[in-house]
Structure 1
């Protein structure tokens, strides 16, 4: 049943991204009859929640809207009878991300928020929390849609589908929109004049591009891409891909593919940043401090431009357009993480994939892509297996499964390094890994080396 006035809850409401979200709702005020927006956080995030929440209230008032903006630490109160729930939380805050990046780098391997050892540990910390949220949703708002922006978005969404037994979930990422905007610009087209076909996993997808007459323009974009120095993503060092390799793929890569196609160069750059205490996480922490100082200004009533450097550009266009499309059955073409349902022949039917989909009132309908060529198929199947094992480890706290996930991951050398980094990170994140408590105790006592 479609309600006349909506209640929307955001878990992680104290995030620096929240003004992006509020801006997106305001832009769609004629499509979304919002009554209440609930911003939820935990005790450690209370100060940030109040700062960003008050900015959200000013933004809504400045737009002349009668929406109620509530700030709370009571998640259950926020979830009660909600229509949409968005998640953008970070277990352990940015200090945990710093560990995710610096500990692997201290051993000479890649440290990154959603890739390699860091990405797996973010999943270990996040998946038990998202499943707890889903448990509350089943009780308090069973008909609500869960819009997940929390990284690693693909694994988090799959955990909800498989282990939370909750179908009304969609994973979102702003990376495809960033690619769409830049690539249309490269060939002098408006983004609405092109059709983008994405297939793969979150932060590990490829895509083709067509014009409205049905002509493929992927190779034309490649030509311009190799001439251009324009940056797609703020949070990734953009070393040029090898032209011959990308042409052989016949599809455009995701920016995150640099970690897999250009591992040596990306690692070299990250180690240089590590030595300067300037990893991406440390940079973001400084940027967030600056943003929250801006947010405190009582005269600030719109999203500040500086937020674009945080890495969340077009976040609101993804999250809010998805909500508007479900609510209004708009049939919008969007790239989302959803259940495969046969859209990608080379991956399990019931797994989560990131794929172009039509967003209906019943949720995403993934567009069939078919089969990958061997080069893409080999990589994506390894990555999916790694995701599946990582999710199992996150839920069970099984050390063997965690070590198995490390071994499968292409960015983690197998053997002693994998085991050493795994052990060190388990102890470092002890506070946020209760499912691994027995294992961590054995590591601390020297029983596991």
Structure 2
């Protein structure tokens, strides 16, 4: 099969390539891994290193690269989208401009997340439209581009065969398995919510929920890993994603962000170092520094999901972004949720989940309402639509802030938004 990676010039691509090279026991036969990116110089470096990784592992498939989206998508059986419109400079902007209003600066939620969505949705939809013409008719689009829930909803609304993927759940699966002394595949999560707004409500091993045991024996460790006080986990009786820290400890996070450099600045430094390493023709395995780039276990999640979509994992459960379709009864069916699902050639089918408590359901409902407005703003533009989305977001939610942040967002992103120039 041919897999196309849009955004293949990313310094993170070798992590994905390493997964395809190593995890051949899934039965996934990759004949060609096509990397697509408009940044030709960068793509040449990443592509060359990726080819050496395949060779190092003795993988018979080809690694190719091209700056032409149409050429790279031609005949693809799966399309992975991992692009970043505006690069790290745009990310740094997303992480800083909201701070002036005392709002959290983050690239996937709040005002920064909306800015990223506005830049990203039109570009991803253009890629998807090209894929519909060039890729194989049964090809799936795997969206790893943040904000995943919003981007996936835009793709599904446009009629594409798409599923959103995030590495949060697989990270918890690996952590829980280590603490319980079992293999990762033995742990099945009740993972539910919206992208970057999820909770682990259960962790089943042989049909028995071991999450209460984990909370009793490892409370402080789990709380530390998600950056929340242990009392929060005790009160909720579940394990929130570390992205919930932006909601549960908002003002503390803002104070921290005002006193330190942004994550985007650090990632930019890491990327420069990685590109220099990738130039070394003697390098054939991913460097340790790549682990600091973020996205742990992304390659395992991507390989597992594509294998399942190809019918190679009939009993597997994967945490993905899909239509709600009644899974959470308080949300419209057309909402996109992140949930554990059984995945086959026909696509993901959400597993039954435990009812969300009222406080969790209320937060999910509010953010889902914002996401609907965010998609509309990304598709149709207009200052008023941006303002409405910010006003609806729980991390903004006040007229004065929404007004100011709308102006700041549009000023910072006008080069990427034709309607805002």
Report TM bin, short chain.
over 0.9
Root mean square deviation, CA, Å: 1.7
Asked if the contact 1:55/1:301 (under 8 Å) is kept, the reply is yes
Partner of 1:91: 85
1:195 matched to 2:188? The reply is: yes
How is 1:284-295 mapped onto 2 (pairs within 5 angstroms)?
284-295=267-278
Partner of 1:240: 228
Q: CA deviation at 1:229?
A: 7.0
Matches of 1:370 and 1:224, distance apart in 2? 23
Partner of 1:3: none
Moved more, 413-422 or 426-435: 413-422
Structure 2's unaligned 5+ residue stretches are none
Matches of 2:201 and 2:181, distance apart in 1? 17
Partner of 2:387: 403
Distance 1:239 1:34, change over 3 A: closer
Counterpart among 59, 63, 74 of residue 69 in structure 1 = 63
Partner of 1:339: 323
1:271 matched to 2:267? The reply is: no
Counterpart among 273, 278, 283 of residue 300 in structure 1 = 283
How is 1:384-395 mapped onto 2 (pairs within 5 angstroms)?
384-395=368-379
Deviations 1:403-435 (A, max 9, x none): 011011111151222211211221111111113
Deviations 1:177-214 (A, max 9, x none): 11121223234443333321111111001122344343
Partner of 2:8: 13
Matches of 2:378 and 2:278, distance apart in 1? 35
Counterpart among 249, 254, 273 of residue 262 in structure 1 = 249
Q: 3-state DSSP class of the match of 2:342?
A: strand
Asked if the contact 2:201/2:354 (under 8 Å) is kept, the reply is no
How is 1:162-181 mapped onto 2 (pairs within 5 angstroms)?
162=157, 164-166=158-160, 168-181=161-174
Matches of 2:152 and 2:186, distance apart in 1? 30
1:309 matched to 2:304? The reply is: no
Matches of 1:345 and 1:250, distance apart in 2? 21
Matches of 2:177 and 2:320, distance apart in 1? 20
Distance 1:211 1:37, change over 3 A: closer
Counterpart among 260, 281, 284 of residue 264 in structure 2 = 281
Deviations 1:4-61 (A, max 9, x none): xx1111000001111111111112335122221110111xx22221111100111112
Partner of 2:306: 323
Deviations 1:275-305 (A, max 9, x none): xxx1111111111111111111111111112
Counterpart among 348, 366, 372 of residue 364 in structure 1 = 348
Q: 3-state DSSP class of the match of 1:105?
A: helix
Partner of 1:443: none
Matches of 1:302 and 1:114, distance apart in 2? 30
Partner of 2:150: 155
Partner of 1:417: 401
Partner of 1:235: none
